Chain A
Amino acid sequence: MATTTASATETHTEQAGRNRGQRVLGRVVLYVVATGFALFAALPFAWMVLTTFKADSDLYRPANNPFVYNDPPTWHNINLLWNDTSYPTFILNTLLVAVVVVLITIAVVVPAAYALTRLTGRWGESLGILIFLVYLVPPTLLFIPLTGVVADLGLQNSKWAMVLVYPTFTIPFCTWLLMGFFRGVPWEIEEQAMIDGYSRIQAIWKTVLPVSLPGILTVVIFSFTLSLHEFVYALAFVQSSDQKTVSVGVFTELIRGDVFFWQSLMAAAALVAFPVALLYNYFLDRFIAGFTLGAVKG
C-alpha cells in the first residue's frame, strides 16, 4: 500500500516536471517562431532604410554585400528626392487628399451606420451588407465609368478628383465596419440620455459616439491609409506633377526611362510608411482598451 502511494507520488512529481518542461519548451518554440516572423516582416523595411543611404558606387556593384555599407553612407539620395523632385508637393497633396477624404468619410459614415443599425429595423443589416458589396467592385473596373463623372465635373487632372472618388470605396467599407461597433453599444444609454434631458442628436453625441470612439478611430485610420496608398484612380485621373500623390508621383519622377533611382525611391516609400506604422502602433493600445470597454456591460 505504502509503496503504491510512494510510486504514485513519484509519478505525480515526474508528471509535473514533465509538464513544466513542456511549458518551457512551448515558450521557447513560441518565441523563436515569433522572432522569426518579426525579422521576416522587418527585413523589407530595414533593407529599404539601408538602401536609402547607399552611394551608387556601392549599390550597383554586384560583388558587394547588399546589407552593409561598403562605401560610406550618404545623404545625397534624400537631397535628390527633396530638392530635385516634386516629392514635397506629393506629400502635401497626399495629406490634403487623405485628410479631406477622412472628413468626408466620417461625416457620411457615422449617420449612415447609426441609421442602419438603429432606425431601419431588420432591413438595416441586409442594406449594410449590400452597401459593403459595392466595396468589392475592383477600381480597375470602376475607373472607366468614374472617368466620365470626373470629366463632367471638370476635375480631370486635379487632386480633387481623388477627393471625390476615394469616398466611393472608403464609405461602403467603413459604414459596414462602424455598424459592427454601433451594434455593440447598449442602446439603453442613449434612451437614458434622452430621458435625462437631452435631444436625440445630443444623446448620440454625448453617449453613443464616445462609447464607439474605437470604431471611429478605426474608420479614420482605415480611410487615411487607403487614401495614402491608392494607386489606380490616382494614375487614371491625374497627370500633372503638381497634382499627384506620393503613390503615383514617386514612380513617374524617379523612374526615368530605364534608370531607376532606387535609393530615392526607397527613401520616398520609407518616409511615408514609417509615420503610418507609428500611428498604428500608438493607437493599437487605445483600440484594445476600447474593445474591452465596449465589452463591459453598461
Chain B
Amino acid sequence: MKHPTFRTDRDTMARVETRNLVKQFTASGAPAVNGISLQTTDGEFLVLLGPSGCGKTTLLRMIGGLEKPTSGDILIGDRVVNDLPPRARQIAMVFQSYALYPHMNVRNNISFPLKAAKLDKAAIEQKVQWASSILGIDQLLDRKPRQLSGGQRQRVALARALVREPNVFLLDEPLSNLDAQRRASARDELQVFQHEIGTTTIYVTHDQVEAMGLGDRIAVINDGTIRQLGTPHEIYEDPADTFVATFLGSPPMNLVERDGDLVGFRPEAVELVPPEHGDASSWLHLTLAEAREEYLGSEKLIYGEIDGVRVVARVHAGTPMPAHEGGKIPITVNRAALRIFDKDSGLRRQPASDSVSASPAEEASA
C-alpha cells in the first residue's frame, strides 16, 4: 500500500462527483437514490440535507464504497471509483454511532487505519499524538470506548478519520448522538476543524440548523433526488420548490394561494404595522384570520389562517398586536420577499437566481 501523503504535499485532486447515480434496493420498489448528479469543489464542506429515508445516507455510503450503485458513476479526484473497494478510495468516514472498535483502546482505535497502511511504529505513534492533540483527547488514549462520553467518542472517531489523511471526509450525522448543549459546541468545533484541515467534507444530516451552520453548500434531497443545491443563503432565500421552502426555516415558509399560484413568504417577512412611507404597490396586504400569539422571549410567533391555510408570522416580542375584530388582523409583506411557485409542480416560477434582482412589482405580477 502507498504511504499516505501528508496534507502539505497532498495533490489537490479531492473533488467528489456523482453522475446520474441510482441505487435501487429491490427490483420493484422506488429507488432510494434516483439519479443524483453533484460535484464538490476541493476543500468544500458539502451538506446533504433531507428528511429521514430520503436517500442521503445511501448516497454517502455509495461514495464511501459500502453500497454498489445500480447505475451511474462516482468520481473521487477525477477518477471513477465505482469498482474500487472502500479501502482503496482514500476516504475517511464517521458513522452516526461512531463505530469505535469496542475491543480496542483509544490509541489502538486511532492507529488502526495506520496499521493497515503498514506505517512503522514511530510514525504511527507520532500521528496518533498529532491527531489526539488536535482533538484534545491525548489524556484518553488508554481508555476503552465504553469508558468515554458521547462527545469524547465523537472526537476519537474524528481523530481516527483524521490520521488517514483522507482525500474526503464522509460524515453521517456525527452530532446526532450528542445532547443539545454539546451539539452546539461540537458543531462549532467541527467547522473550525474542517477549515483548518481543509479536506473536502460531505456531511449528512436531517437537521437544518446543522446544515445551515456548517455547509459551504447544501444539497437538499427528497425522494432520492436533489431538490436544490446551493449556498445556505440561496437555499433559504431562493428555494427552488415548495419542498425546499417548507423544509428549511423554523417555522417554515408560508404558502398561500393567490391567482392560481402559490405565494411563499418567510414568517419574518411579515409586518404587523403597515409601513407609512414608500410605494404602496410594493406591499402585499393580507388578512390573518383567527390570529393568536405565542410569546418566545426575544420574539413572538403569530399564528393564523389565510383561506384555510395556516400562516405564521415572526415579529419582535415588543411589537404590539394590532387592534383586531373577531381574531382578524391585517398583515403586510414586502413584495420583494415573495416567492412564487407553480401550484401543480411546486417549482419556482422564475429562475431562482433572477428573483433577487427582479423588481418586486414584476415578481408579484408574474
Contact = CB atoms under 8 A, between A and B. Distances in A.
Are these two chains actual partners, yes or no?
Answer: yes
Interface of A: 186, 188-189, 191-200, 202, 206-207, 210-211, 293, 296-298
12 contacts: A188-B95, A192-B95, A194-B65, A194-B86, A196-B87, A196-B160, A197-B1, A197-B164, A206-B112, A211-B101, A211-B102, A298-B145
Contact of B86 (A186, A189, A195, A296): A195
Nearest to B91: A195
Contacts of A207: 101, 103
A210 B97 CA distance: 19
A25 to B, nearest CB: 38
A291 B91 CA distance: 33
Contacts of B66: 191, 194-195
Given A189-B102, A207-B103, 11 more contacts: A189-B100, A189-B101, A191-B95, A195-B87, A195-B91, A195-B92, A195-B93, A211-B103, A293-B102, A293-B103, A298-B99
B97 A186 contact: yes
A211 B89 CA distance: 26
Contacts of B92: 195-196
Nearest to B117: A197
B103 A199 contact: no
B145 A196 contact: no
Nearest to A194: B86
Nearest to B61: A191
**Majority SS at the chain B contact face:** loop
A287 to B, nearest CB: 15
Contact of B164 (A196, A198, A296, A298): A196
A219 B93 CA distance: 34
Nearest to A294: B102
A228 B51 CA distance: 57
Contacts of B121: none
Interface string B85-115: 1110101110101111111000000001100
A296 B95 CA distance: 16
Contacts of A188: 95, 97, 99
A191 B98 contact: no
Nearest to B112: A196
Interface of B: 1, 64-66, 85-87, 89, 91-93, 95, 97-103, 112-113, 116-117, 145-146, 160, 164
B103 A196 contact: no
B97 A297 contact: yes
Given A192-B93, A193-B112, A198-B116, A298 B101 contact: yes
Nearest to B93: A195
Nearest to A197: B116
Contacts of A192: 93, 95, 99, 101
B167 to A, nearest CB: 12
Contacts of A193: 101, 112
A296 B91 contact: no
A298 B95 CA distance: 11
B100 A298 contact: yes
Nearest to A296: B146
B172 to A, nearest CB: 9
A197 B1 CA distance: 9
Contact of B102 (A191, A202, A206, A296): A296
A196 B160 CA distance: 9
B85 A194 contact: yes
Contacts of A191: 66, 86, 93, 95, 99
Nearest to B115: A197
Contacts of B101: 189, 192-193, 207, 211, 298
A197 B113 contact: yes
Contact of B87 (A186, A199, A210, A211): A199
A199 B99 contact: no
Contacts of B65: 194-195
Contacts of B97: 186, 188, 297-298
A240 B178 CA distance: 68
The 6 A-B residue pairs whose C-beta atoms are closest, nearest first, are A197-B116, A188-B99, A196-B113, A192-B99, A296-B146, A194-B86
A197 B102 contact: no
A91 B146 CA distance: 44
B63 to A, nearest CB: 11
A164 to B, nearest CB: 35
Nearest to A192: B99
Nearest to A207: B101
Contacts of A296: 102, 145-146
Contacts of A196: 87, 92, 112-113, 116, 160, 164
A120 to B, nearest CB: 15
Contacts of A293: 102-103, 146
A198 B87 contact: yes
Nearest to B100: A298
A202 B1 CA distance: 15
A199 B84 CA distance: 11
Contacts of B117: 197
